[in-house]
Structure 1
């Protein structure tokens, strides 16, 4: 009988916890599972329409980047026509799907790493050459970008303005550290010094022993609203303790505790349920791997994000989640008797949204990698929002941002492939180095235009971001770039280490992070635009014998 009551209580508490979760998360779930997918679909439809228009011409240009440029320019025009407030309202609507794509942009990069085992074999000697080119090129490009941007700052006289703006942003600082100034207003009204003395009674009952001690005794003349000084110090302490007891929150009930845990891990639990109850049954009953592999890939990314922040600086979530995904794909396929190559072929079948909507015949069903790569296009378009947010910075420091990016883009496109091929790196991998400094969202289509190896550019682009986040600020210090020159620092790190270094700057210098975001986006767009011109592509390919 007691067991039945216990089970009934557990079931009742579970139902109550689920009801609490529903009340707490229904709006978020409505946004996540309805508004966001519909918004992403609209963005991809726009990309498909632009891609169809581009297909009518002889120019090869990614539709996602074209939509990025159109959205950025369109928002500027709309802002001029209808004003800032209405434009912000429009941006808030676009930000529902676009913000999702930007927040989870890293997971859309994982297919390039997951598919690395399918790459052609590479010798140890070539690996060593790639590492050498990466290290030397990283330092040279960063130094060239920093000195170019710094020189433009000094030439145009904007460096002094930048440092002044930075000083105003930090505000006036004082060397005095008021360690004992707990109430500046009172100290300004009265020359008050706290008196010493005990504030804790010698004896206390058990419930009170864990409470924090009251503040030290104050000057009675400064006490307001009590009718005068307290007559009994012990009674005053008792009142204080009673007030503290009354202010203690009530303990959570079991349904509330369960609801809190579920709410905290709602996304993870949702994908886990989809993996177990939808993905696996479909995979092992029909052989279609996408639902199982996609949900497992997302769970692997959540696991990578759970690492401590210090670890994530070295173990980037893209690398960790990709490694976990490869292992999971192998195990899931091995249970069915499939090899790793067969399982990875099912992971990426090359059937993207563009192929589906073009009604190409005999297309295989899309894999998990195809879904992520398709949504990556929406992430590229979403980069227009931070660019629009920092448009005033772009206008103010236009030449210091644009000219270094143009120079480094041209130098990377023609310099890296030539050097790599000259020292014995294969042609496709040499071309992949042209996108070394780009954020992966823009590096992949740029290298694809050149005919380079996508897996190589994925590896070097992500490593550029990680290395820049780890040692980029120190290199700028060694180059004697002033810490207050946020323009040079932002442009250099954005152009050399893309989004990962930008995320680090957000913690130390938000204004430098803004310029880093602009530099990252512009550098990618410039490079992608150049690789979309057939004459330029032919000239670059000729450097590697293609």
Structure 2
């Protein structure tokens, strides 16, 4: 009887916690699991339309980058015509899917590393040469770019004053936002305690996007009561200065709120890990049954890849400085899907072949025949186009900096791109790197969206090029600021210079 009562109590508390989560976080989950997918589809439809228009000409250009340019200048025109306030309201709407796509852009890069085992065999000596060229070239390019930008700064007169003006503009923009707009954009997940007090939630921004939205995603236990000796009027030391008398009545002593109940604790855990639990359920009860029953691996591989990325994000911040989530999640994904494939008697090459079959949304919507079923890598690659389009929002946000430092950004950008195109392949081939991998270095200074088609047109190795482009971004985050310090860039100019170099060297 006691066991039955305990079991019923656990079931009752579980149902109560689920009701609590559903009642207090339904808006967040509705946005994350309904509005965001619809917005992503709309962005991809726009890319599909632009791709169809580009296909009418003989020019090869990524539709996602074209949409990025169109969206950026479209927002600029809207800002001039309808004003800043209405434009920011439009940006907040676009940011629902775009903010999500930018927040998770790292996971869409993982297929490039997951597929590295499919690259042609390479000797250890050649790997060492590639790493050496990459590292030396990275530091040389950053140094050249830093000093070139610095010289152009001095010539054009752009300096720390530009960043100060930007800070003042940001402050004016924040002051212009009505208080009701800010408060209405927050969806706080709170639990009313028996004592009538509420527990404020922590914000993580892992599900619902928004430039000015911070979505509460956690329940926290109440803070401990204050030390009575530090509370005036409740037994603390008497006041010794009577020159200023406080007419306000003494505040009542603070009381320790009652602890969270078991359903409230469970609701806090579920809400804090809602995305992880959702993908875990999909992996165990949807992906694996489909994979082992039909052989279609996409649901299992995609959900496992997402879980691997969440695992990589759970590493301590100090570790993530060196163990980048893209690299860690890619390694976990390769190992995991290989183990899953061994249970079906498949080799690593076979399972990676099903991970990315080369069929993206453009192929499907164009109605091309004899297509393979898309894999997890194809899904990530498709959504990556939405992330590239979404880059128009931070560009619009920093439009004043782009205008002020136009020459300091464009001139080094063009110079480094031309140097990479004609310098890297010759140098790599001369020291014994294969021709296809040497040509992959030609797009070293391009963003991945442009580097991929450029490398294909040159006949280079796309996987090598993708790894180089992504590793460049990772290196910039890890050591970019330190390189500026080693170059003895003036401290007042380092942040301003890093802003510009970040748009030149990925």
User: Does the alignment reach a TM-score above 0.5?
Assistant: yes
Q: After TM superposition, what 4+ stretches of structure 1 lie above 6 angstroms from structure 2?
A: 166-169
Query: Which aligned pairs between 1:274-423 and structure 2 lie closer than 5 A?
Result: 274-423=282-431
Corresponding residue number in structure 2 for 1:218 = 239
> In structure 2, what is the Cα distance between the partners aligned to 1:168 and 1:98?
26
SS, match of residue 158 in structure 1: coil
Q: Give, in angstroms, the shift of residue 294 of structure 1.
A: 0.5
SS, match of residue 428 in structure 2: helix
> In structure 2, what is the Cα distance between the partners aligned to 1:420 and 1:151?
30
Residues 153, 159 of structure 2: 8 Å contact kept:
yes
Q: Give, in angstroms, the shift of residue 287 of structure 1.
A: 0.8
- The reply to whether residue 492 of structure 1 matches residue 497 of structure 2 is no
Q: Give, in angstroms, the shift of residue 58 of structure 1.
A: 0.6
> In structure 1, what is the Cα distance between the partners aligned to 2:69 and 2:260?
51
> In structure 2, what is the Cα distance between the partners aligned to 1:268 and 1:446?
37
Which digits, 9 at most, give the CA deviation of each residue in 1:24-60, with x for residues without a partner? 2211111111111111111111111111111111101
Residues 301, 317 of structure 1: 8 Å contact kept:
yes
Which digits, 9 at most, give the CA deviation of each residue in 1:379-414, with x for residues without a partner? 110101110111111112211122111111111122
Corresponding residue number in structure 2 for 1:521 = none
> In structure 2, what is the Cα distance between the partners aligned to 1:317 and 1:377?
20
Corresponding residue number in structure 2 for 1:190 = none
Corresponding residue number in structure 2 for 1:243 = 253
> In structure 1, what is the Cα distance between the partners aligned to 2:403 and 2:107?
32
Gaps of 5+ in 2: 172-223, 231-236
> In structure 1, what is the Cα distance between the partners aligned to 2:67 and 2:102?
15
TM-score by length of 1: 0.78
Question: Residues 309 and 448 (structure 1 numbering): CA distance in 2 closer, same or farther, change over 3 Å?
Answer: farther
Which deviates more from structure 2 when the two are superposed, residues 212-221 or residues 479-488?
212-221
> In structure 2, what is the Cα distance between the partners aligned to 1:480 and 1:21?
52
Corresponding residue number in structure 1 for 2:17 = 17
Q: Give, in angstroms, the shift of residue 138 of structure 1.
A: 1.0
Residues 62, 449 of structure 2: 8 Å contact kept:
no
TM-score by length of 2: 0.84
Corresponding residue number in structure 2 for 1:266 = 274
Corresponding residue number in structure 2 for 1:139 = 139
Which digits, 9 at most, give the CA deviation of each residue in 1:43-89, with x for residues without a partner? 11111111111111110101111111111111111211111111111
- The reply to whether residue 8 of structure 1 matches residue 8 of structure 2 is yes
Question: Residues 49 and 210 (structure 1 numbering): CA distance in 2 closer, same or farther, change over 3 Å?
Answer: closer
Q: Give, in angstroms, the shift of residue 249 of structure 1.
A: 2.1
Q: Give, in angstroms, the shift of residue 488 of structure 1.
A: 2.2
Question: Residues 5 and 214 (structure 1 numbering): CA distance in 2 closer, same or farther, change over 3 Å?
Answer: same
> In structure 1, what is the Cα distance between the partners aligned to 2:10 and 2:75?
54
Corresponding residue number in structure 1 for 2:92 = 92
Corresponding residue number in structure 2 for 1:43 = 43
Q: Give, in angstroms, the shift of residue 128 of structure 1.
A: 1.7
Residues 432, 454 of structure 1: 8 Å contact kept:
yes
> In structure 2, what is the Cα distance between the partners aligned to 1:129 and 1:346?
31
> In structure 1, what is the Cα distance between the partners aligned to 2:476 and 2:90?
35
Find the structure with the greater CA-based Rg: 1
> In structure 1, what is the Cα distance between the partners aligned to 2:457 and 2:90?
34
> In structure 1, what is the Cα distance between the partners aligned to 2:299 and 2:167?
52
Residues 166, 401 of structure 2: 8 Å contact kept:
no
Q: Give, in angstroms, the shift of residue 211 of structure 1.
A: 5.9
Q: Give, in angstroms, the shift of residue 444 of structure 1.
A: 3.2
SS, match of residue 243 in structure 1: coil
> In structure 2, what is the Cα distance between the partners aligned to 1:448 and 1:212?
67
Q: Give, in angstroms, the shift of residue 471 of structure 1.
A: 2.5
Which deviates more from structure 2 when the two are superposed, residues 47-56 or residues 448-457?
448-457
Question: Residues 149 and 19 (structure 1 numbering): CA distance in 2 closer, same or farther, change over 3 Å?
Answer: same
- The reply to whether residue 159 of structure 1 matches residue 159 of structure 2 is yes
Query: Which aligned pairs between 1:34-113 and structure 2 lie closer than 5 A?
Result: 34-113=34-113
Which digits, 9 at most, give the CA deviation of each residue in 1:430-466, with x for residues without a partner? 1222233444454434433433212212322233233
Q: 2:490 aligns with which of 465, 482, 492?
A: 482
| Structure with the largest fraction of helix | 1
> In structure 1, what is the Cα distance between the partners aligned to 2:18 and 2:465?
45
Which deviates more from structure 2 when the two are superposed, residues 348-357 or residues 445-454?
445-454
> In structure 2, what is the Cα distance between the partners aligned to 1:10 and 1:477?
57
Residues 101, 390 of structure 2: 8 Å contact kept:
yes
Residues 162, 484 of structure 1: 8 Å contact kept:
no
Question: Residues 255 and 441 (structure 1 numbering): CA distance in 2 closer, same or farther, change over 3 Å?
Answer: farther
Residues 431, 451 of structure 1: 8 Å contact kept:
yes
Corresponding residue number in structure 2 for 1:535 = none
Residues 444, 458 of structure 1: 8 Å contact kept:
yes
SS, match of residue 253 in structure 2: helix
> In structure 2, what is the Cα distance between the partners aligned to 1:381 and 1:286?
35
